[in-house]
A and B are shown apart, each in its own frame.
Chain A
Amino acid sequence: MSREAEPSPIYLDHAATSWPKPAPVREATLRSLTDMMANAGRSGHGPAIESARIVFETREHCANLIGARRSEDVIFVRGCTEGLNLVIKGFLRPADTVVVSPMEHNAMMRPLARMATQSGIQVVTLPADPFGRIDYEAARKVARAHQPPALLAVAHASNVNGIVQDLHALHELFPHTPLLVDAAQTAGVLPLDVERDTISFLACSAHKGLLGPTGVGICYLAPTCDVTPLLEGGTGSRSESFEHPTFRPDRYEAGTLNLLGIAGTMGALEFLAQGEPQGHHKRQLTGILLKGLRAIPGVHLQSPLDGSALCASFTIDGLRPDEIAVRLERSGVLGRPGLQCAPAAHRHLGTFPHGTMRLSPGWGNTPEHIETALRAIHAIAQNA
């Protein structure tokens, strides 16, 4: 029986995770499975030392990517969520005040909510325009009304509608407050420089804009900031003592690292180093998408049309986002409907509780993919 090959889906869900992974990621990951890869830094024999060298080189690449002067300030974590938890739970003290944007992901809001319940921290949300971009004039009044907060905690770009916050303006608003940047949507996409942008803490995953595997993230901790670790345990160092090491990176990396994921991340960073950050490509495709969506009757945009958005969020009259997603998938287009784990953002946009349909282009997508998606959305809106 002959069967025609099904066309590949058009993957527009890069804000959730990147796909496909570049060849160097697959090759580096496979090598770590087929070659001998011992436990990094544990046993002192050759394979253990070589594994530790892969960890070191990957850490150095990560430090270069974000402009960190010392690579030991870059900590390997399971993902952006763990990095944000490390900073929020390890840096804040009881009754501290934290300032956030209205567009935060639950990876930020849930640990803050727990700290509010357990430690009495106060969370203050900055005023913003209808798309969620911080209104710095209005925010100045908030800054004057409060003592300097203990922490500014902000998503660099929204995972819901792709808006990008101005980190420099934010720092000028609160010049004496450490800044925690959730770079889940911007690492590998927009230039990041923790020194230039006076960022004290930064967290991101490897599997989104960095094009690496899942299960690995990095968390930058400025050398001047004291953060209590989330975990204690074996580190391969100071093994004679029950006291956990105080030196970096060991202090924050108890237990065996995800060597498979770190090897794949190394492949991704080497691949990315050959090209420009993907921001221009993402913005170009998102711009085509948003302009096309604007022309479709019944479609309402939740992302700005000024060329700055990194993804497109929209609704269609008469259809819930999950219904749009099901119909789009039948047309071979994959995106993400609903709240995208960011209910705070949807409350701000006025799209809570149903959310939006999000399409997020990325590496591997072409303008033809976007045109195909637009034709499908046009047909869906006509038949709503």
Chain B
Amino acid sequence: MSSEQGVVLFFTIHAVFRLQKALRARGVDSKPIPTPRYLSSDCGTALRFSWSHRADVESEIANLDLEIDSIHALSE
């Protein structure tokens, strides 16, 4: 299993928790973190997840009709 991490950037922290709650219901771990500065100048919060769950994450974003900024693989 890959240890590579991914991160979802949002416009509002409300969406961070909505996605985390939905992922938890699917058994997928995720964690809110400060938005990495090299990805965005915004002062918000992002959601980190295992890149191996990228399909789950994208599926839940679509299910919830969440407006997100972007999804990135995190550099080491």
A residues bordering B, Cβ < 8 Å? Answer: 40-45, 48-49, 52-53, 56-57, 59-60, 71-72, 235-240, 245, 247-250
Q: How far does the Cβ of B11 sit from chain A's closest Cβ, in whole Å? A: 5
CB pair A245–B13 under 8 Å, yes or no, is no
CB pair B13–A240 under 8 Å, yes or no, is no
CB pair A237–B42 under 8 Å, yes or no, is yes
CA of A239 to CA of B43 in the docked complex: distance in angstroms?
6
CB pair B34–A250 under 8 Å, yes or no, is no
CB pair B42–A250 under 8 Å, yes or no, is no
Q: A48-B45, A245-B12 are in contact. List 15 more A-B contacts (CB 8 A).
A: A41-B44, A44-B44, A56-B14, A56-B18, A72-B12, A72-B18, A235-B12, A237-B42, A239-B43, A239-B44, A245-B11, A247-B12, A247-B67, A248-B14, A249-B12
CB pair B17–A52 under 8 Å, yes or no, is yes
Q: Which of B12, B14, B17, B42 contacts A239 (CB 8 A)?
A: B42
Q: How far does the Cβ of A8 sit from chain B's closest Cβ, in whole Å? A: 41
Secondary structure of the B contact surface, majority rule: mixed
CB pair B34–A236 under 8 Å, yes or no, is no
What residue in chain A is nearest B45 (Cβ atoms)? A44
Q: Would A52 and B13 be within 8 Å (CB), given that A45-B34, A71-B18 are in contact?
A: yes
Q: How far does the Cβ of A16 sit from chain B's closest Cβ, in whole Å? A: 32
CA of A238 to CA of B67 in the docked complex: distance in angstroms?
14
Q: How far does the Cβ of A59 sit from chain B's closest Cβ, in whole Å? A: 7
The interface bits of chain B over 33-76 (1 if a CB of A lies within 8 angstroms of the residue's CB, else 0) are 11100000111110000000000000000000001000000000
What residue in chain B is nearest A45 (Cβ atoms)? B34
B residues bordering A, Cβ < 8 Å? Answer: 11-18, 21, 32-35, 41-45, 67
CA of A45 to CA of B35 in the docked complex: distance in angstroms?
10
CA of A271 to CA of B20 in the docked complex: distance in angstroms?
25
Q: List chain A residues, Cβ under 8 A from B42.
A: 237-240
What residue in chain A is nearest B67 (Cβ atoms)? A247
Q: Which of B12, B21, B41 contacts A240 (CB 8 A)?
A: B41
What residue in chain A is nearest B33 (Cβ atoms)? A44
CB pair A237–B34 under 8 Å, yes or no, is no
Sample (29) of A-B pairs whose CB atoms are under 8 Å apart: A40-B13, A41-B45, A44-B43, A44-B44, A49-B32, A52-B16, A53-B32, A56-B13, A56-B18, A57-B17, A59-B14, A71-B14, A72-B12, A72-B15, A235-B12, A236-B13, A236-B43, A237-B42, A238-B11, A239-B42, A239-B44, A240-B42, A245-B12, A247-B11, A247-B12, A247-B67, A248-B12, A249-B14, A250-B14
Q: Would A237 and B67 be within 8 Å (CB), given that A52-B17, A71-B18, A245-B12 are in contact?
A: no
CB pair A42–B43 under 8 Å, yes or no, is yes
Please list the 4 inter-chain residue pairs (A to B) with the smallest Cβ-Cβ separation, ordered nearest first. Answer: A44-B34, A41-B13, A56-B17, A239-B43
Q: List chain A residues, Cβ under 8 A from B12.
A: 72, 235, 237, 245, 247-250
Q: List chain A residues, Cβ under 8 A from B16.
A: 52
Which of B12, B17, B34, B45 neighbours the largest number of chain A CB atoms within 10 Å of its CB? B12
Q: List chain B residues, Cβ under 8 A from A53.
A: 17, 32
CA of A44 to CA of B42 in the docked complex: distance in angstroms?
11
Q: List chain A residues, Cβ under 8 A from B11.
A: 237-238, 245, 247, 250
Q: List chain A residues, Cβ under 8 A from B33.
A: 44
Q: How far does the Cβ of B35 sit from chain A's closest Cβ, in whole Å? A: 7
